[in-house]
Amino acid sequence: MRDAWAALTAHHEAVKDRRILDLFDDPSRADAFTAEADGMRLDWSKTNIDAEGRRLLVALAEGAGVADKRAAMFSGAKINETEGRAVLHTALRDLAGSVKVDGKDVIPAIVETLQRMEGFARDVREGRFTGQGGRITDVVNIGIGGSDLGPAMATLALAPYHDGPRCHYVSNVDGAHIADTLKGLNPETTLVIVASKTFTTIETMTNAQTARDWMGTAVANPAAQFAAVSTAADKTAAFGIDPSRVFGFEDWVGGRYSMWGPIGLALMIAVGPDDFRAFLAGGHAMDTHFQTAPFDANLPVLLALVGLWHNQFCGHATRAVLPYDQRLSRLPAYLQQLEMESNGKRVAMDGSDLPFHSGPVVWGEPGTNGQHAFYQLIHQGTRVIPCEFLIARQGHEAHLAHQHVLLVSNCLAQSEALLRGRSLDEARAIMAKKGLSGAELDRQARHRVFPGNRPSVTLAYDKLTPFVLGQIIALYEHRVFVEGVILGINSYDQWGVELGKELALALQPVLEGRQGTEGKDGSTAALAAWFRG
Ligand SMILES: O=P(O)(O)OC[C@H]1O[C@H](O)[C@H](O)[C@@H](O)[C@@H]1O
């Protein structure tokens, strides 16, 4: 592993000044650096990775034991060592499989819960489960982090399949979020789902209480219009939610990996059980590909290796996720949790300091919107930002096919522009045509130079169906896994979120004036005093 790392560092040093465009002198470049899995295509040819780089990166993955760790994860071994837990979100979509944790096959319980969810979702969608004022018109999912971002992102992504009641997602403890959401809803026909793995998260429990109070002003039995999704059955009972509307899961499903199970209930009610199963099938297809394809044709492995190449070897600290798919507008936010909470660590699994940087900053917005906002910096700023484009061959709006052509041409044009750039000579020729000359021509031309040679990958698929969405999400999950294994970190804990939570709890009595600011730093004390007025 150390040898592979050193070899890659040397290789990067040797090729770093080369133009990526020159690699296309080889006419087989695009084919050789495109991989495919069940109709999903990953073009990673617009990177500065050549055949030797690919060989070394694959050797890095092999040396890091990715294959063994992958087998361990899928088999139910407790690879989340700091929490002593298995990592088995893949079991949620392996409905015909068999996976044991502590000697017990977990699949039968997964299938049973899925069927209960389906029964409930059908009852809501078909009007057998009603509110106290009639058929359910609106579902409000209260959850945060992994109990919000996945289903919220997917509900938007699958809008063309949404034929159930309206779905709303409330996450922020800022009262504005729940107030704005509930405004205009009828409590008599609203179902509230409290989604929390732990059922202790302060934002979720506070919003759940607010929703119950709101409902209590209009209906005799507010708890009857609540459902819960959690690993903590005792706490859902204490909140007063009938066990028939509680859908449980196990601690081996991490919050940010949980949308495939009960946390996906609101999504299932929105699109229906059949489309939810198609989503699971897409995820499972990617699992099978990940487990069986050779590393140099394995989408999650390749995406991870490209990520490591850019972050750890080229030193690019961020990566932009740019879906040319308006319905994936929440994908970057979803991936921020998936990737940054998983791989934003500073110590290795054994507690030693990491000798290199961990995961990159992930950010992005859908195209073409981003083009009119931050692409300026991507094209001409001084930092290089590797870009990840996502594009469907087909939209759902057949009557707007001409708009889809525009969308695709913009997506392809951006990666082309990043690759190719525009030289000073080309810029000078443009300025000369406009009639400029001398020093003014030079000055104006320099502003119009694009350095190019900026790397990107393109993930291309036929159409954003439930199956394809499942493939995309599972692809990114496994990418995180592979990067984490190679970095030697635990991708499945999140201790970094704890300190802020503890300090917020301690500050509450200070802000309420029940406690003084002793022991606080000067800035925090002054801000607390400002708040108290
Ligand atoms: O589902 P919950 O237990 O309410 O947790 C919600 C979220 O909060 C935590 O702080 C974690 O950082 C997230 O990983 C988690 O998804």
pLDDT of residue 374: 98
CB 45 within 8 A of CB 29: yes
Q: Chain-centre distance of CA 403, in angstroms?
A: 27
Which residue intervals of 16-99 are DSSP H helices?
Answer: 29-32, 51-63, 66-75
Amino acid at 161: Y
How many A from CA of 148 to the centre of ligand 1?
9
Instruction: Name the strands in the sheet holding 190-195, side by side, starting at the edge strand that comes first in the sequence.
Output: 166-170, 138-142, 190-195, 226-230, 246-248
d(CA 337, CA 362): 9
Q: Identify the H or E element spanning 458.
A: strand 456-461
How many A from CA of 314 to the centre of ligand 1?
33
**Catalytic residue check, 372:** yes
pLDDT of residue 486: 98
Q: Is the CB of 494 under 6 A from ligand 1?
A: yes
CB 390 within 8 A of CB 324: yes
Q: Spot the catalytic one: 341, 388, 477, 483.
A: 341
Q: Identify the H or E element spanning 529.
A: helix 522-532
pLDDT of residue 70: 98
How many A from CA of 257 to the centre of ligand 1?
11
d(CA 143, CA 191): 14
Which residue, judged by its Cα, is nearest atom 8 of ligand 1? 145
d(CA 235, CA 224): 16
Residue 123, CA distances (Å) to 71, 120, 126, 188 in order: 39, 5, 5, 17
pTM value is: 0.98
pLDDT tens digits for the chain (533 residues)? 789 999 999 999 999 999 999 999 999 999 999 999 999 999 999 999 999 999 999 999 999 999 999 999 999 999 999 999 999 999 999 999 999 999 999 999 999 999 999 999 999 999 999 999 999 999 999 999 999 999 999 999 999 999 999 999 999 999 999 999 999 999 999 999 999 999 999 999 999 999 999 999 999 999 999 999 999 999 999 999 999 999 999 999 999 999 999 999 999 999 999 999 999 999 999 999 999 999 999 999 999 999 999 999 999 999 999 999 999 999 999 999 999 999 999 999 999 999 999 999 999 999 999 999 999 999 999 999 999 999 999 999 999 999 999 999 999 999 999 999 999 999 999 999 999 999 999 999 999 999 999 999 999 999 999 999 999 999 999 999 999 999 999 999 999 999 999 999 999 999 999 999 999 999 999 999 999 99
Question: Has the ipTM of the complex gone over 0.90?
Answer: yes
How many A from CA of 203 to the centre of ligand 1?
10
**The token pair that represents 36 in the structure block:** 């495919």
Q: Which atom of ligand 1 is nearest to the CA of 144?
A: 6
**Catalytic residue check, 501:** yes
pLDDT of residue 387: 98
Q: Is the CB of 80 under 6 A from ligand 1?
A: no
Q: Nearest Cα to 109, choosing from 90, 126, 91, 125? A: 91
pLDDT of residue 254: 97
How many A from CA of 22 to the centre of ligand 1?
46
Q: Is the CB of 456 under 6 A from ligand 1?
A: no
Q: Spot the catalytic one: 16, 126, 501, 512.
A: 501
Q: Is the CB of 89 under 6 A from ligand 1?
A: no
In this structure, what are the phi and psi dihedrals at residue 184, rounded to the nearest 5 degrees? 90, -10
Which residue, judged by its Cα, is nearest atom 14 of ligand 1? 255
DSSP 363-405: E---TTGGGGTTHHHHHHSSS---EEEEEESS-S-GGGHHHHH
Q: Spot the catalytic one: 183, 372, 399, 434.
A: 372
pLDDT of residue 346: 97
Q: Is the CB of 256 under 6 A from ligand 1?
A: yes
Which residue, judged by its Cα, is nearest atom 16 of ligand 1? 146
